[in-house]
Amino acid sequence: MKYRHLPNIVDAEQFWPDQDQIPTGVGLAEIRDGRRAWYFVEGVEAPKQVPIVAGDYLVQFTTGCRRRYKQSDFEALYEPIAN
């Protein structure tokens, strides 16, 4: 059988850590053992800290669930719509 991905409209924002405003749900991990700090999304895909890097998209579904997508994956699945 073949299936088509049904069109969904979601809210999404692209993550750029050098901008003043960090999206809701994104945190900064502590520096431990000399490692660099990294940004994460809490509770995405599973109840754990999922790394998010510059250019990734953060999608919020109608259920309230938030998920991180790599830029190439997001752009392959979604296209912008006019408001």
pLDDT score recorded for residue 67? 84
Which residues in the chain land under pLDDT 50? Answer: none
pLDDT score recorded for residue 46? 55
pLDDT score recorded for residue 31? 67
pLDDT score recorded for residue 15? 86
Rounded Cα distance between 22 and 79, Å, is 22
Rounded Cα distance between 22 and 28, Å, is 10
Is the whole model's pTM more than 0.85, yes or no?
Answer: no
The structure tokens listed for 35 are 């490692």
